[in-house]
Structure 1
Amino acid sequence: MNVINVNHVKKIYSLYENKKDRFKEAFSITGKKYHKDFYALNDINFSIQKGECVGIIGLNGSGKSTLLKILTGVLTQSDGNVEIRGKVSALLELGAGFNPEYTGFENIYLNAMIMGFSKKETDEKLQDILDFADIGDFINQPVKVYSSGMFVRLAFAIAINVEPDILIVDEALSVGDVFFQQKCYKKIKELAGKSTVLIVSHDLNAMTKFCKRIIVMNKGNIEFDGEPNEAITQYFKIKQGRIKENTKLFSNKEDEILNLKDYKIPNENEYSGNMDVIIKKYFYSINGESFVENCKRDDEIFISMIVDSNRNIDNLIIGYQVRDKYGNEVFGQTSLTSEVEQFSLKDGKNVISFKVTWPEIREGDYFITLGIGEGTDVLNQTEQCWINNAIHLAVSTMGKTIFGVFNNSIEEYTVETLK
């Protein structure tokens, strides 16, 4: 049974160049329009069955939040129909529906009432809400004194513990600390199957864990609706298309060197080092596809850098370093510590290229720093130029569980019965 039906939904905003045009249109005798129509949503169609856990992803401005606000009744669509069956619990904006003068305790009952739950139903769930929020004596304080973390703890505790027919969450979990996020996702997993869950998040790896289906939106349209890993691939193709629209091109001479058209120019604040050698531009591809961001085990990453050197460097070192989204160093390597041929660098412009095979590593967001140095050993080397966090990768394990950071397979397995 479908609990959410969205049919030909459009949301149109009128955009005026200035306030005068709005005034002219309001008092126009001929009915002349002085605005342009902006389609935040353009003919959206989908259905969600009872018990499904569905994710919605897309770049900023794709229409995700607008869609959720229409589903929850915060906004009204310009055209089309929306059908919702069941009680909805929504967490769209931090503290939405809270009265800042009320205590946390009073806001529990206020929010539950807005969702359509009786006082008796709220009384039955009160202790679960208090335990989940875990904000101590602050529950008796006005929420206007709460930190953002306390806000989201209480709001999410109310939204999920009343066990609604439909739970809708829009990016609210990004405010809490990592431990609370884990707690929330665990609760969502428990709720999925009993309730219908619709969630928007930029945490793509979490989406693939909990959602059996992901909708990809782009510029007010649905680009894809289906299997999570394919949805992630489509998302990055859209993102890559946006990058190409704004990419600066090399001169013809440099295009001939690499036979490529798309390059990235580092921002000045990404640089560090002595700068006798400067990485002017860089390119990367994964399995032959340029500037993609989704990656998995055994994918081949090709990296090429065009550099300017102020002098000849005999003992060239090139390398990379991988960090997680918290800035922790995960792994890395240099030409000095790898079994590769060592090269020198000539004064002037040079092209440096190398390949890396991605290991089996825990899913998540990772950032690759590219570097050039010189020296003869790890204790006697100089960093010349580093581009910090040059490459972002969203790594998938394709549903496989990684215990820790890396996987290391069991090489031999025997069973022997003892008498």
Structure 2
Amino acid sequence: MSSDVMISAQGIGKAYALNASPLRQMLAQFRPARRTDDFWALRPLDLTVRRGEVIGVIGQNGSGKSTLLQLLCNTLNPSCGKVQVNGRLAALLELGAGFNLDFTGWENIRLSAALYGLSHAETEQKIGAIAAFADIGDFIDKPVKTYSSGMFVRLAFAVIANIDADILVIDEALAVGDVFFTQKCMRFLQSFAEKGTILFVSHDSASVVSLCNRAILLEHGMLLADGDPKTITEYYLQKQYFHQQPQTEQAPVKTGDSAVNQGEFGLKGLSVQTVSVLDSAGEPVFQLHGATSLCLNIQIMAHQDTAHPLVGFSLKDRLGQVMFGGNSADAQGHLPALQAGQSLQVEFDLTVPGLTLGDYMISVAVGEGNARNHLMHHWIHDAYALHSTLTVQSGMLEIPVDRMRHHLLSTL
């Protein structure tokens, strides 16, 4: 295995025998064999993870994400294939996995460190930093069976953050943490990503886009797509909308790898015809130089009678992170019903804050219904490009300060 390959998985898959006797299930652990009535939690796939990659694993519940990570961590035996790992791998999988419920926090830290191969001296050197990172107060002296789910995550993450791992594998565990600890973990992961390798399961596409440099999409136990996070998360969004829509003859949305690079999808009962951004003089805008007022014009056409059209937009940075967005329902604007063949121009007057230097894209969509419950007729990723020339001192946005006040307070 090449020195820059941290994980090499070849043909790994996991099947469970349905309606099998306990004896057959036990024998299957020693002599895996494919049966026609097996349930494949993960279909055989190949995966190579290289040094420095931060891979987001996404997919709906039951798609095989947790099974894949368990196979890569060797906590689950594959039904086929093999996995090679180069380096120390630390994992945060099921909540509380690897902890003895009757042990205290201190005892579980020492137990986990020993399982990861740390010597007694190394553990004692790091145990203070682990306790400080977990920040669970006096509960560290109590058995972990008295912990809340958030405390479990704090202690488990603190351990993997301090054992000098080469590879981190994290399976949705941060979803149960409080916002302050989640932010601490994200800062750690961003720092770790500069020198280590991460596999990260999350339902939060924004976290995948901001943290990862590669993403894979699983569906029904199969590897559906592998590529850059922006493309894969947008494809995942398309798949989610497609599965939620009624399957009619008006749904030409393609599936499979050929759809990954498509910039649009939907039922096409309505369609977006043109998109433009204009300044106060009605001139097209392609560059932003600070906070400004703009008008976003979206022209749509109805290909079928539509009682409740809905038009929306979002502005994203070059990584695909949504900066802000809106729709006609949020703007308290009632759009008229449309008959087939009619067109409608919708104008959004926006006060855009100062955006930090870089490229931005506007995505637009038209549907039928309301903001919470609607059919997606036409979604276009990257429908309009803007470039900001502003240098923001801190953060991603510059918000003008209307007024500053100060008051000198008397000392006691």
- Asked if TM exceeds 0.5, the reply is yes
Aligned to 1:212: 213
% identical aligned pairs = 34
What's the counterpart of residue 8 of structure 1?
11
Which residue number corresponds to residue 119 of structure 1?
120
Partners of 2:21 and 2:187 in 1: CA distance: 49
1:80 Cα deviation after fit = 0.7
User: What TM-score do you get using the length of structure 2 for normalisation?
Assistant: 0.64
> Any gaps of 5 or more consecutive residues in structure 2?
26-33, 253-261, 269-275, 278-295, 315-323, 401-412
Match for residue 189 of structure 1?
190
Aligned partners of 1:358 and 1:208: how far apart in 2?
Answer: 28
For 1:267-306, what aligned pairs fall within 5 Å after superposition? Answer: 289-290=265-266, 306=306
Measure the CA separation in 1 of the matches of 2:48 and 2:387: 25
| AA at the equivalent of 2:168 | L
Inter-CA distance 352–102: structure 2 relative to 1 (3 Å threshold): farther
2:386, 2:325 → 1: CA distance? Answer: 20
Change beyond 3 A, Cα 1:240–1:303: farther
Deviations 1:294-314 (A, max 9, x none): xxx979696989559xxxxxx
> Match for residue 150 of structure 2?
149
Say whether the 8 Å CA contact 1:9–1:42 is kept in structure 2: yes
Q: For 1:253-402, list aligned pairs within 5 A.
A: 260=250, 289-290=265-266, 306-307=306-307, 355=346, 388=372, 390=374
Residue 242 of structure 1 aligns to a residue whose secondary structure is helix
Q: Distance in 1 between matches of 2:310 and 2:86?
A: 59
- For the residue of structure 2 that corresponds to 1:161, the secondary structure is coil
Contact 1:171 1:200 in 2 (8 A): yes
CA contact (8 A) 2:311 2:328 kept: yes
Q: Give the SS at the match of 1:113.
A: helix
1:162 equivalent to 2:163? Answer yes
Q: Does structure 1 residue 44 correspond to structure 2 residue 45?
A: yes
| Shift in CA distance, 60/187, structure 1 to aligned 2, threshold 3 Å | same
3-state SS, counterpart of residue 58 of structure 2: strand
Q: How many residues align?
A: 328
Which AA in structure 2 matches 1:289?
F
Query: Relative to 1, partners in 2 of residues 1:223 and 1:302: Cα closer, same or farther, differing over 3 Å?
Result: farther
**RMSD (CA atoms):** 4.9
Any conservation in 2 of the 1:302–1:356 contact (CA below 8 Å)?
Answer: no
Residue type of the alignment partner of 1:71: L
> In structure 2, what is the equivalent of residue 73 of structure 1?
74
Aligned to 2:225, the other structure's residue is in SS state strand
Give distance in 1, aligned partners of 2:179 and 2:158. Answer: 16
Call closer, same or farther: CA 1:99–1:125 in 2, change over 3 Å. same
2-structure distance, mates of 1:320, 1:216: 26
Give the C-alpha shift of residue 103 in structure 1: 0.9
Counterpart residue type for residue 18 of structure 2: L
- The 1:180/1:23 distance shift into structure 2, 3 A limit, reads closer
Question: What's the CA shift string for 1:383-404, capped at 9, x where partnerless?
Answer: xx966465899x9999999988
Report the secondary structure of 1:73's partner residue: coil
